Structure 1
Amino acid sequence: MTRWASRRSQLRVDAPRGLSRRLVIASALLALLMTATFLILFGAITRLRDAAALTGRSEEVLASSSRLERLIVDLETGERGYIITKDPTFLTPWETARAAVPQEAAEFRRLGTKIGGEQGKRAGQISSAVTSYLQDFSVPLVTKVQRQPGVSAAASVADGQRRVDRIRTDFDQFMGVQRRLTSRYEQHSLEASRRAMAMAGIAAVASFVLVFVFTSYLTRALVRPVRRASIMAADLARGELGVRMPETSLGEIGVLEQAFNTMARSLEMSHDKLRRVADEQAALRRVATLVARAVSPHEVFEAVAAELGRILAADFIVVNRFEPDRMETVVGSWKAEKNPEAAPPTGSCWSLEGRSLESSVERTGRPARVTDYQRATSGIGVWARTRGVRCGAGSPVVVEGRLWGVMIAFSMSEDPQPEGIEVRMTEYTELVGTAIANAESRAKLTAARARLVSASDETRRRIERDLHDGAQQRLVSLGLELRAAEGSIPDGHDVLRQRVAKTASGLSGVLEDLQEISRGLHPAILSRGGLHPAIKALARRSVVPVELDLHVARRLDERLEVAVYYIVAEAMTNATNHVDASVVRIHLHLDEDVIQMAVEDDGVGGAAVGGGSGLIGLKDRVEALGGTIDVRSPSGKGTSLQVRIPTWTA
């Protein structure tokens, strides 16, 4: 990662900036054009908005002028009708106009002030004239007529009509000028709109042209090379590691092409290395699988030697165990198929004395390497020198913290072995150490089980012997004495004779119970006659019918016979007391090196190893002898015990 980060920094420093500069210039031009277009459009829109505002204000003034003129007409019409007819109904529109004129005159004056100029002055004059007409003429005249109905007001009416005519003339002049102004404002607004649309069209065309040129340049300078790079990257992903990009582009794209070609070359060079790593991992998984399956250490040694030899391309692989007397024993070996020489045979012993790789490992407990076997003097060293071995590397095998042995990879090549080979070997030596530790643990566990079973059997035999030679003999003697005493009782003592007879019978029952217990501890018939008569005796005493299929032609070791006997006894007890079976089938076959036994019943099933059942004791006894026991007891379908015990374990 550090090397790649340094390389990226160097690329950033050394990369040409031509493409970046061109992109920046093109982007700046496009941004400048867009900014200018925006400013032009903003100015045009501002002018259009101002023209629209002027037009709107002009229309508001015209509308206010029209409303105010109508109010003056209503005033004049109402007052003239009332003065002439004295009819109060004419005062209704007059009152309405009178109430509205002040507010409308003020609004007209305000709007005139907003438009300013001569029109603003005219609006003020008209507003003043209207207010004066209302306050100084119309209101006093109507009030006078209301107070003096008989007074003649014809002259006043004519005067009022003249005043209204002058005001209306002012209104007409004002509105004529304002309409011309409104028309001019609308024309300006239309021209501003046209200019804005023209500028927007020009800017849009210019932007389109610039974007088209910019896009064409990007396509030629960026998109095409990137597309070509993506196609070649897909080729790389498919495993075509020989593809290369033409290094013809400028700027950063040219750097990308160079980096792509560098990456392709690196991938091509590292492909073999990755394949080797994958092969190593696959080999480690295969060896680890063997270790997990708890195969024998010898199988693990041979598998490790073969896998490591192929991975390291070595000529010989040797796995040696260090012995206490400065000797080493070959426990596993491998040789390349091309090699005519044989590897050191498994089981052979060699001296550690002298200069050698394995003696260095035995002394230091660390990996070691020999580059020249011409001066090696140990047993394996001399063997390697005579076979043309040039160099070797060794890694210690450590089992639970103690140095157990060494694994050595020999090479006959003149080239030195690659660096780090010892580290690669360590992964395999750790698996070897695990396999050895597992095997030793299993051996210790099996031995402990065997000792427990043997001690239990010995205790059973001792108790059975003590019962037979002690308590049973004494009970027999007491029974005989009681029968003799019973026979010597004179006639006439029937009650006493009955009591003695009852006591003798009870003593016989106790003796039979004691004999049954003795047979359960260690049946004498098993010791005297073997499995065949002992199992038949069990079948005869069983309350459940038993079908026997026994093929045992010879006597076996006592531990094997006791194990088989107790398996049959426990299965029959289980069928009698727990599973409500109607029949028990016992199959026993003795092959050359294995005992195969099956005990089946047709009970309710549901038996399991554990939970305090007697099956767990049978499992311990069978496994202590190196055998296997398989219990199948589905609910409602009976129970089946399948047992295999090798005869050589005894």
Structure 2
Amino acid sequence: MGSGLTQRAVAAGIVHALVVGVTFGLLLCSMADMRRAQLRAGHSTQVLVAANRLERLTVDMETGLRGFALTGQDRFLEPWRAAVAAYSGQIGELRRLVADDAAQRARAERLAAAGSSYVHDYSMPLVAAAHHEPASVTTTAVAEGKRRVDLMRADFRALVSDEQSEVRAQELRSEAATREARTVGAAGLITSVALIAACTGYLTRVVVAPVRRVAATAGRMARGDLAARVPGGGPGEVGLLERAFNTMADTLARNREELAASRSRIVTAADQARRRIERDLHDGIQQRLVSLALDVRTAQTAVPPGRGELGERLDRLADGLGEAVDELREISRGIHPAVLSRAGLGPALKALARRSPLPVELDLNVPDRLPEPVEVAAYYVVSEALANTAKHARATAATVRAEAREGLLRLEVRDDGAGGAAAGGGSGLIGVTDRVEALGGTLTVTSPPAQGTTLVADLPTTGH
């Protein structure tokens, strides 16, 4: 059978899950890169802040010391003392921040050594000498301090430059990770939408459309078209559904044909039995009663004068036999009208209209004889309809139309009665409906209340 729809749906779901999983994984990786870049940039920012603070302390030491050396005033030593007190802790913070970077750690070590040498080997002895003998502080000694600080500031600039480069690199990396995340997200979204659209289109084509065809074909079958079929060849379970549906339709059509054939055989057998009974009544009992009536009339003529009582009794007997013949003829006509077999549908309907207790207007367009089953069914349709009109409709008149053309006989019986009739229940039309459907025809009754009743029967005239 090949891969079924279930396997295909599972495969599509797995592919979609893989796409979503890979996209989500790549997004997580990009977000992790962004996070690392942001953390590294934040760390570099902390290094820059610590370096800037340390450089300011160095500058404060140098300017305070130089101001004291040039003026001899102790107030210039306050910035120097504050910078010396904070320098050790700040250099320790910088060394901690750059511990994982060898180049920056080396610079921090040099700055720590240079700062310690500046404080202990240069500035403190200079301050002590200035306090003891101010004249011993020369311009050369002051210039030495500036030289030491300039060397330290060169290391500061190198350290800050490297950290700024690192910050820029991390910003670029973060931007690249952001772009990558956007690209991955957009690609994943587009791929997911494309997969969903493809799955939707596929399901519409191989599932929804065939199911709709099956539903439409089922509707046609419900309306009586048992020849309707769905095209096979669908994939997987849809193909099984189509084949099962067509098999069911074949079975229904076969059962309907068998039912129609059975009903046709029953109707044919009933019609043959009616004709046989009518013929037996006409040729047997009816002829015998007519003969007896003639014999009575003959005997009546032979009654001698003076025997009037006997003549009256024979006259009553002859009249009774005549009434019996008439009643038997009416019964025989109801079982199977002889005029239908002899002259066809048109004369039979005219005779039926003449016998109706209501005025019946005829509009007949049946120029030729029709197949016998069609004529019999048409006759009984009109007969039963007129009988119902006379019994139940409270009508004043009826119209009968019959037209045969293009392989179809259409009958229409209309009255101006109370309406509200139906083909089922006790209307007497159930047997007529069976007779019509046995020939492949249809019978409909339209009977709105207070608007009369219209019965329409369509009988195919071919294939019988």
1:461 aligns to what? 275
Is 2:220–2:228's contact at 8 Å kept on the other side of the alignment? no
Q: CA deviation at 1:21?
A: 9.2
- Structure 1, residues 281-320: CA drift from partner, whole Å, max 9, x if none? 22431243124312766652xx616xx5xxx7xxxxxxxx
Q: CA deviation at 1:8?
A: 8.0
Q: Partners of 1:534 and 1:646 in 2: how far apart?
A: 19
Q: For 1:274, give the aligned amino acid.
A: T
Q: Partners of 2:321 and 2:35 in 1: how far apart?
A: 120
Distance 1:298-1:562 versus aligned 2 partners, 3 A rule: closer
What's the RMSD between the two structures over aligned residues?
Answer: 3.2
Q: CA deviation at 1:422?
A: 5.0
2:306 aligns to what? 492
Q: Partners of 1:595 and 1:478 in 2: how far apart?
A: 44
1:266 aligns to what? 192
- 5 Å-filtered alignment, 1:3-82, equals 3=14, 15=28
Q: CA deviation at 1:592?
A: 2.8
Distance 1:491-1:284 versus aligned 2 partners, 3 A rule: same
Distance 1:534-1:14 versus aligned 2 partners, 3 A rule: closer
Distance 1:527-1:602 versus aligned 2 partners, 3 A rule: same
Distance 1:260-1:433 versus aligned 2 partners, 3 A rule: farther
Q: CA deviation at 1:279?
A: 2.4
Is 2:260–2:440's contact at 8 Å kept on the other side of the alignment? yes
1:286 aligns to what? 213
TM-score when scaled to structure 2? 0.60
Q: Partners of 1:424 and 1:637 in 2: how far apart?
A: 50
2:335 aligns to what? 521
- 5 Å-filtered alignment, 1:189-228, equals none
Q: Partners of 1:649 and 1:614 in 2: how far apart?
A: 27
Q: Partners of 1:585 and 1:296 in 2: how far apart?
A: 32
Match of 1:427 among 230, 233, 241: 241
1:559 aligns to what? 373
- Structure 1, residues 179-220: CA drift from partner, whole Å, max 9, x if none? xxxxxxxxxxxxxxxxxxxxxxxxxxxxxxxxxxxxxxxxxx
Q: SS at the partner of 1:614?
A: coil
Is 1:548–1:585's contact at 8 Å kept on the other side of the alignment? yes
- 5 Å-filtered alignment, 1:522-601, equals 522-601=336-415
TM-score when scaled to structure 1? 0.44
Q: Partners of 2:337 and 2:370 in 1: how far apart?
A: 16
Is 1:598–1:642's contact at 8 Å kept on the other side of the alignment? yes
Q: Percent identity of the aligned residues?
A: 41
Q: Partners of 1:439 and 1:259 in 2: how far apart?
A: 57
Is 1:247–1:258's contact at 8 Å kept on the other side of the alignment? no
Q: CA deviation at 1:498?
A: 0.9
Q: State the structure with bigger RCO (CA 8 A, min sep 6), 1 or 2.
A: 2
- Structure 1, residues 381-409: CA drift from partner, whole Å, max 9, x if none? xxxxxxxxxxxxxxxxxxxxxxxxxxxxx
2:459 aligns to what? 645
Q: SS at the partner of 2:364?
A: strand
- Structure 1, residues 551-587: CA drift from partner, whole Å, max 9, x if none? 1111111100001111111111112121121111111
Question: Any unmatched runs of 5+ in structure 1?
Answer: 26-245, 313-420
Is 2:445–2:454's contact at 8 Å kept on the other side of the alignment? yes
Q: Partners of 2:35 and 2:249 in 1: how far apart?
A: 66
Q: Partners of 1:8 and 1:270 in 2: how far apart?
A: 12
Q: CA deviation at 1:9?
A: 8.3
Q: CA deviation at 1:435?
A: 2.1
Q: CA deviation at 1:259?
A: 5.8
Q: Partners of 2:399 and 2:319 in 1: how far apart?
A: 36
Q: Partners of 1:479 and 1:643 in 2: how far apart?
A: 43
Distance 1:518-1:428 versus aligned 2 partners, 3 A rule: same
Q: CA deviation at 1:20?
A: 13
- Structure 1, residues 504-544: CA drift from partner, whole Å, max 9, x if none? 11121111111101101100010000011111111111121
